[in-house]
Chain A
Amino acid sequence: MSQAVEERHETRDTDLGDEELRARLSKTWGTARGLIGILSTVDHKIIGIRYAVTAFVFLLAGGIMAIIMRLQLARPDSHFVDAELYNQLFTMHGTTMMFLFGVPVGEAFAVYLLPLMVGTRNIAFPRLNAFSYYVYLFGGLMLWGAFALSIRPDVGWFSYVPLANLNFTPGKGPDYWAQMITFTEVAALAVSVEIVVTVLKQRAPGMTLDRIPLFVWTMLVHSFIIIFAMPAIMLASSMLIMERLVGTQFFNPDAGGDPLLWQHLFWFFGHPEVYIIFLPGTAFVSAIVATFSRRPVFGYLPMVLSLIAIGFLSFGLWVHHMFVTGLPEIGAAFFTASSMAIAIPNGVQIFCWIATLWDGKPVLKTPLIFVLGFFFIFVAGGLSGVMLASVPIDTQVHDTYFVVAHFHYVLIGGTVFPLVAAVYYWFPKVTGRLMDERLGKWQFVLAFTGFNVTFFPMHLLGLHGMPRRVYTYPAEMGWGGLNLLASTGALLFFASFLLMLYNMIASARSGALAGDNPWGADTLEWATSSPPQPQNFDRIPCVTSGSPLWDKGDDKAVVGGLKVDERELLVTSVTEARPDIREESPAPSIWPFLAAFATAVAFIGSIYTPWAVTWGSPVVAIVLVAWFWPKTIEENV
């Protein structure tokens, strides 16, 4: 290679001692100060934290919506909020929790942790990563900004047509909803592509496919699910907005369309969506169970195969959301069977985790305690899901509070409890300080009690005939007592998050110093400092097992020969992770921010006139050209 000869003059990491190397690399990979610097950063850790903080703000907002709804439902015939506001609230609650919290929060952790776990210096396509964050942020701000301006979607997070059509829902609410979907899906798709490429091509040398941490496998499957599921909702939301703005007829049965087409497209995305939200939860559980059992998770191969099976099966279930639309019997039977079948890989995972705890020595710290809460709640939710898979049972409980109970057991039990565990677990890595254990345990008591008191009664309410999405109910229905109980629990559950917020803020200021690896964990993110330097690793580690930090022996091989003064990272082969290319990683740039801004303006404009797309596209195109235009010529000279 001709350029290899010339590049000898450059400083390589092998030329420097540890101290100087760290300082020089941290300068090369650092983020500039000032507003432009902040908006230009491409550091996956900074963007990951922004993702997480934004998602938690939306969690809080969605939680407040839930509390207002619970206050309204606490008593029968209540007038705390009226029908109109209530419908807006549950729409915003569902939309926020699914699109602005559930999906992004999993990606936040992946964006922050994956490059560390696979031992690389930045995520693949870091500018796309920055772009995706801004698009997500603008999408969320747009929806909530419109809400503040009283432009409020009120047709549910599922926006069934024809209710969401212009003639039944005038106003701009559903248009903002549909565009917000497009925003967040663009963001999610971009992040998924980054994750797939990071995992496949940027692993540290020696991290062969069978040495990838389960967390990473899980997020890889999660990303593939997004890649195949999200196009459905983007297509659907675009069709909806076209139906509303330019008068297409996709869903109009009088003009050859079909309202069920919306449901098929929506749920083709909507069911995988459940796994998109749930899989990060299992990723957290795998990491935490291993660390606190002092054992690698039992059954690596069955675990990975289960994940892949879940990925495939999640696309074969969508019709179970449509069991009461009057399907042909054979179709219903197929989707019952497939919905039952997905319980098998989930069961395998549960078994493997319990077997790990059985074999190891569980250390009952807050993260593990929340994971135990996960078992208790998620298994119950999964089993009520088996009931919903049965068409005959579903005809009774579909669209009732039984379903509300079920999916909160699955989503809160399956994702939020592991998420809280993950916050306690990785907080010391991100901030360098441990969170308070005593407050953590109190938080668990509050959260666990509050959750079950809120959602268990909802099973009974559903069976006793209470449908979803009703803003009130007559006192004579006899639902008042259980609803009051549920509302009380909701307050407790909400309080547990306030306690966590307090714990996070207090611990970030004055928590105990953590050190590199406070839990004695086995994956690579714990091999670097807490918080990690901008370059993640001073020297890229080589991996010889599935639990690199638990390996015995002193000889920890590292990579040498990467440039120090340029952003260079190591690209390896897909299966064997053999070093292959020293690829340049893009430097900070303001253009992703500007591109996201231009995209946002075009999208918001398109809510009011389709011409905004026509005028906005050239602007976006110009910004994109500026983004990709090379800034230096030295790279190849």
Chain B
Amino acid sequence: MHFRRPYETWNFGTAACPGLLSQLWRVDAAKQKNAADQAEGEECRNVEPVFAENPDIAFQTHGSASSTLYEAHNTERDRRVPDLVFRLFRRASNWRALASLPAAAGALASGCTGVQSALDPHGEQADALAVLFWIFTAVLGLVWLVTMAGLFFALTRRRDSRGEPAQARPAVKRQVRIAFAAMLASTVIILSGLTVLSFDGQRMVFRDEAGAAVTISVIGHQWWWQVRYEGNNGFETANEIRIPVGSAVDIKLTTGDVIHSFWIPSLAGKLDLIPGKSNELRIQADKPGVYRGQCAEFCGQQHAHMAIFVVALEPSEFERWRAKQAAPARPMAHLTKQQNVFASAASSPSPALSEHSR
């Protein structure tokens, strides 16, 4: 289900920063479990009718719910992840670590940040977008440098000694006119070039082809992701998508409440989940690994914690997992509990869920 079963292990050897990846994933799984427990404990959804009757009381309930949530999840995380890597990262972000900032910045800029970075692409679309980004950066950076050079030159130019330079509308000098024409022409050329490149890149975003190996529905909720594998043996997960490496996967995006935005930077650009509308995004992972993403459209109080993981598996492994998921579930105490949570949490209980818990 949506958090990791302790007896399952995965091979992340090929990802950019393997140790970090697995750690983070585990951390987040714990966090999600807590959030889910919390949701059940506080009966967030059931509070809604009360809101309408007495907003003030409901608000307080809401507030206290969130603070408990955070204490709970921190203790849980600290208990579950006493890892060296994790501790290192915590220390790196301490106030005392100000001195090591340049190093940290360097590490970020170098691209080895791990899991959630547009500059660390591991999928066809993200690759193309990163290339486009670097082209734009190079060209526009050059434009900026030229402009600043022009400004510097304008300020430091040696001037012939003239007494009172102020005069109304002096005649335009020929060289300035030429410079103006050159500026205008190069601006138009550069912008046209970039627009053409952008249109080219746009095909990647908008392409509409058949042939996806897997189709998955993702339904956004405050503040978790419901993931539904379509097909005859459909099943559901939460906050986690597993996909086969090297195959195109179509993701249908809808929402159960407010607007969210689905974004796995290492695999593809983002796309919104909008009430009354269905959007479709294609992702594809080149390598096995865990790719983190999170909701990119502000969606309410716990927006910051609405993360999702894409786990890319070797095809054979993916098929094994899928078969196991599609099979009737073994009774497991915590699983059943989870399902109850989400069954009550979703605005309309999904048939797949009830089918699955049968």
Contact = CB atoms under 8 A, between A and B. Distances in A.
A–B touch (CB < 8 A): the answer is yes
Interface of A: 74-77, 79, 82-84, 87, 154-156, 160, 162-163, 166-172, 253-254, 258-260, 294-296, 298-300, 302, 324-326, 329, 332-333, 336-337, 340-341, 343-344, 347-348, 350-351, 354-355, 357-362, 372, 375-376, 379-380, 383-384, 386-387, 389-400, 457, 460, 463-465, 467-478, 480-485, 488, 520, 522, 545-547, 550-551
B1 interface: no
B202 A75 contact: no
A463 B180 CA distance: 35
Contacts of B296: 324, 398-400, 467-468
B195 A253 contact: no
A84 B140 contact: no
Interface stretch (B5-13, B111-119, B349-357): B111-119
B259 A294 contact: no
Contact of B144 (A348, A379, A387): A379
A390 B194 CA distance: 8
Interface stretch (B211-219, B235-243, B270-278, B313-321): B270-278
Contact of B118 (A155, A298, A389, A397): A397
Given A87-B303, A259-B274, A464-B118, 16 more contacts: A163-B298, A166-B52, A168-B258, A259-B276, A260-B274, A294-B164, A326-B271, A357-B155, A358-B176, A390-B198, A393-B133, A399-B296, A463-B133, A470-B304, A522-B166, A547-B166
A341 B300 CA distance: 35
Nearest to B180: A351
5 contacts: A391-B201, A391-B205, A392-B202, A467-B294, A476-B89
B294 to A, nearest CB: 6
A464 B113 contact: yes
Interface stretch (B63-71, B224-232, B322-330, B338-346): B63-71
Contacts of A341: 191
B172 interface: yes
A362 B153 CA distance: 12
Contacts of B113: 464-465, 477-478
A162 B258 contact: yes
Contact of B66 (A84, A260, A340): A84
B167 interface: yes
A357 B165 CA distance: 12
Contacts of B20: 476
Given A298-B176, A329-B206, A550-B167, A390 B105 contact: no
B89 A478 contact: yes
A299 B183 CA distance: 14
Contacts of A389: 198
B3 interface: no
Interface residues of B, number: 123
B168 A547 contact: yes
B169 interface: yes
Contacts of B108: 460, 464, 478, 481-482
Nearest to B299: A163
Contacts of B297: 160, 399
Interface in B78-109: 85-86, 89-90, 92-95, 97-98, 100-101, 104-105, 107-109
B129 A395 contact: yes
B304 A471 contact: yes
Contacts of B204: 392
Q: Which of A168, A170, A254, A393 has the most CB of B within 10 A?
A: A393
B198 A391 contact: yes
Interface string B6-42: 0000000000000010011001100100000000000
Nearest to B21: A476
Interface string B156-199: 01010010111111101100100110011001100100110111
Q: Which of A298, A362, A471, A481 has the most CB of B within 10 A?
A: A481
A389 to B, nearest CB: 7
A261 to B, nearest CB: 11
A386 B114 contact: no
Q: Shortest 10 CB-CB distances between A and B: which pairs?
A: A253-B276, A395-B269, A480-B93, A481-B104, A465-B116, A392-B201, A470-B304, A358-B154, A390-B198, A326-B279
B59 A170 contact: yes
A340 B86 contact: no
B136 A393 contact: yes
B309 interface: no
Interface string B134-146: 0011001101100
Q: Which of A379, A386, A551 has the most CB of B within 10 A?
A: A386
Nearest to B173: A359
A75 B301 contact: no
A493 B147 CA distance: 25
Contacts of A472: 304
Interface of B: 20, 23-24, 27-28, 31, 48, 51-52, 55-56, 58-59, 62-63, 66-67, 70, 74, 85-86, 89-90, 92-95, 97-98, 100-101, 104-105, 107-109, 113-119, 126, 128-130, 132-133, 136-137, 140-141, 143-144, 147-148, 150-151, 153-155, 157, 159, 162, 164-170, 172-173, 176, 179-180, 183-184, 187-188, 191, 194-195, 197-199, 201-202, 204-206, 222, 257-259, 261, 263, 265, 268-272, 274-277, 279-280, 292-304
Contacts of B274: 259-260, 325-326
B144 A171 contact: no
A25 to B, nearest CB: 30
A477 B292 CA distance: 10
Contacts of A167: 48, 51-52
A457 B101 CA distance: 11
Nearest to B94: A75
B81 to A, nearest CB: 9
A465 B31 CA distance: 19
B256 to A, nearest CB: 11
A329 B92 CA distance: 43
A343 B187 contact: yes
Nearest to A351: B183
Given A347-B187, A478-B89, A551-B168, A393 B129 contact: yes
Contact of B55 (A168, A171, A337, A468): A171
Contacts of A343: 187, 191
A475 to B, nearest CB: 5
Q: Which of B24, B89, B107, B297 has the most CB of A within 10 A?
A: B297
A359 B198 contact: no
Contacts of A351: 179-180, 183-184
A484 B297 CA distance: 24
Contact of A392 (B101, B128, B166): B128
A260 B258 contact: no
B4 to A, nearest CB: 16
Contacts of B304: 83, 469-473
Nearest to A467: B296
B104 A480 contact: yes
A253 B259 contact: no
A382 B89 CA distance: 35
Contacts of A468: 296, 298
Q: Which of B51, B59, B118 has the most CB of A within 10 A?
A: B118
Contacts of A474: 24, 27-28, 31
B239 to A, nearest CB: 14
A474 B279 CA distance: 29
Nearest to B93: A480
Contacts of B271: 324, 326, 395
